[in-house]
Amino acid sequence: MTEFYRAQSALDFERVRNRAFFRRVFALLLGREEDIRLLSFDEVKAKVRCQEGYYLGMRTVPVDAIVGSVGRYQDFDREFLPVRSTTKERWRRIDEAFYEDVVLPPVQLIKVGEVYFVRDGNHRVSVARDKGVAFIDAEVIECRARVPLGPDMNADDLEAIGEYTAFLEWSKLDQLRPDQDIRFTIPGGYHQLEEHINVHRYFLGLERERAVPLEQAVTSWYDHVYMPVVALIREEKVLEKFPHRTEADLYIWIMDHLYFLKQCYGDEVGAEEATEDFAEHFAERSLLQALFHRVASLGAKSEDEVGKRTEVAEHD
């Protein structure tokens, strides 16, 4: 039977290598290479700024929740299909052990949020996925991060996750308002929020005739500026008209649109009217069309007008 298993493992490896090859070809043709790339733990750690690891002990882990590797992220794709021929001998030995019902030691994983990265046992995970194994025994170390990570994240999401992490470290919003969940699908959104908060802080200082600590400005902005707009978005079901977008995306666009309407019609225009008008005029348009519409209407604006937009929106 040993020779039979060797022959079978050879066929298995060629099959998974071919599958990995065609996945890469299709991903390249569709421009979706990042969707099938196995994540590098070091890259993720740098973006989300993990805290020191905590040993969680032995766990049974969903194989589908393993999305990356500490050192072998270039040897496998997102489904842990081997992409290099150098993995052949090790992969085949693990495959043979599977057929022979050999009990292998547990893999070693690092947990970040709801996803896992292989510290040791990449080939075991690869064979397990190929055989349709749903769960795998693992020794788990947890690396805690401010931004929760989910199994659907890919390499393209890392930049936004890094921006979100930096925003939370600066604002401490996750500590001040633990139920917050501000997510963007567009780059640069968190930098705009920082500008909004800084402008809000400035005008709070004028109203109170004293310097306002950043934490007070953050909670005031969240409670009295951001959440009221989000409440309108939910009440009007605006998100249904913008598939694949988030409340934070719409907040930025609606605040921008509110400034535009006030420039056109005066200060009597409020956030509710801006929300309704934005949903009506932009729901069926692409983002690029919306951008051209705005540029044609207002022309190019200098960077210092960002503060003016927030000022107008807060003092309507």
Stronger pLDDT, 155 or 180, i.e. the higher one = 180
Hey, is 101 helix, strand or coil? coil
Q: Poorest-confidence range of 53-62, 135-144, 206-215, 268-277? A: 268-277
Stronger pLDDT, 289 or 113, i.e. the higher one = 113
Token readout for 184 is 């963007």
Q: Write the single-letter amino acid at 49.
A: R
> Where does the pLDDT of residue 297 fall: very low under 50, low under 70, confident under 90, or very high at 90 and above?
low
Mean pLDDT over the full length of the chain? 86
DSSP string, 56-98: EEEEEEEGGGEEEESS-TTTBBTT--B-SGGGHHHHHHHHHHH
- The tens digit of pLDDT for each residue in 255-265 reads 888 888 888 88
Residue 217, pLDDT > 50, answer: yes
> Where does the pLDDT of residue 303 fall: very low under 50, low under 70, confident under 90, or very high at 90 and above?
very low
The pLDDT of residue 301 is: 47
> Where does the pLDDT of residue 157 fall: very low under 50, low under 70, confident under 90, or very high at 90 and above?
confident
**Of 173, 169, 107, residue with least CA distance to 141:** 107
Looking at the chain, the whole-number percentage of residues with pLDDT higher than 70 is: 89
Stronger pLDDT, 143 or 277, i.e. the higher one = 143
Stronger pLDDT, 57 or 187, i.e. the higher one = 57
The pLDDT of residue 309 is: 53
Looking at the chain, the whole-number percentage of residues with pLDDT higher than 90 is: 57
Residue 118 gets which letter from DSSP?
A: E
What are the residue ranges of helices labelled H in the chain? 2-30, 41-48, 88-99, 122-130, 157-171, 173-176, 189-208, 214-221, 227-235, 247-265, 271-282, 287-298, 305-314
The pLDDT of residue 11 is: 93
The 3-state secondary structure of 229-261, one letter per residue: HHHHHHHCCHHHHCCCCCHHHHHHHHHHHHHHH
Stronger pLDDT, 16 or 150, i.e. the higher one = 16
- The tens digit of pLDDT for each residue in 55-72 reads 999 999 999 999 999 989
Q: Poorest-confidence range of 17-21, 231-235, 250-254, 292-296? A: 292-296
The pLDDT of residue 3 is: 82
Arithmetic mean of pLDDT, 238-257: 89
Cβ-based neighbour number of residue 54 at 10 Å: 11
Arithmetic mean of pLDDT, 152-161: 83
Residue 274, pLDDT > 50, answer: yes
Arithmetic mean of pLDDT, 10-38: 90
- The tens digit of pLDDT for each residue in 189-209 reads 999 999 999 999 999 999 999
- The tens digit of pLDDT for each residue in 84-112 reads 988 999 999 999 999 998 999 999 999 99
The pLDDT of residue 300 is: 43
Arithmetic mean of pLDDT, 160-170: 92
